[in-house]
Amino acid sequence: MARVDYWGIEQEIRTVILANADVAATSGIQVLVEEEISMHRTPTVVVTLEGRSAPDDLQTLSAGQRTRLFLDVVILVHFYAMEVSEAARLRDTLIGNVEIALMNNRTLNNLVSNLWLTGGAIVTVGGQAGFNAVGEVRVTVDVTASI
């Protein structure tokens, strides 16, 4: 039986992100899986599985032996800085580097059929004590479970 290895997919996304030279060169970078963002620990990237679906129109006639799934993954990118412009610039650079890493390896080293970027929210909050800039990289991963 070939079940979907959800944890393994999250770990492989982490590996692919860390393999990107620009991400790896980010001073103090932490790439975590299924952990909460700490406002005191930046720069941080957190990979989280948000959900999954099995669209009816994508299921093949295979006597119930196979199910094609779309996994919804959210990758949060967080930077803290004293100046809003610095926090936003660093966040935006890291978001771009994460996106490039994933676009360069759409099968996660042949672990999945495909993945694609689907957008994500971006927000900056703060005040006198500094600014937290957070952005999402939303990804859909195409996998198949089979017996």
Q: What is the pLDDT of residues 96-121, one digit of tens each?
A: 999 999 999 999 999 999 999 999 99
Note whether residue 82 is domain-resident.
yes
Note whether residue 1 is domain-resident.
no
Q: What is the number of structural domains in the chain?
A: 1
Question: Would you state the structure tokens that stand for residue 27, as one six-digit string?
Answer: 């001073």
CATH number at residue 127: 3.30.70.1700
According to DSSP, residue 56 is labeled: G
Cis before 55 (ω within 30): no
Q: What is the pTM of this model?
A: 0.92
Per-residue pLDDT of 70-94, as tens digits, reads: 999 999 999 999 999 999 999 999 9
Note whether residue 138 is domain-resident.
yes
Q: Which positions ≥6 away from 65 have C-beta within 8 Å?
A: 146, 147
> What backbone phi and psi angles, to 5 degrees, belong to 40?
-100, 0
CA–CA distance, 71 with 48 (Å, rounded to integer): 11
Note whether residue 34 is domain-resident.
yes
40 residue type, one letter = H
Note whether residue 56 is domain-resident.
yes
Per-residue pLDDT of 41-53, as tens digits, reads: 789 999 999 999 9
If one counts every other C-beta atom within 10 angstroms of the C-beta of residue 71, the result is 20
Note whether residue 125 is domain-resident.
yes
Angle between helices 6-19 and 84-103 (to 10 degrees): 110
Note whether residue 129 is domain-resident.
yes
Q: Is the dihedral of CA 116, 118, 124, 125 positive or negative?
A: negative
Percent of residues, the chain, with pLDDT higher than 90: 78
Mean pLDDT of 14-35: 95
Domain ranges, residue 100: 6-146
Q: Which helix (H) or strand (E) holds 69?
A: strand 66-81
Note whether residue 91 is domain-resident.
yes
CA–CA distance, 139 with 142 (Å, rounded to integer): 10
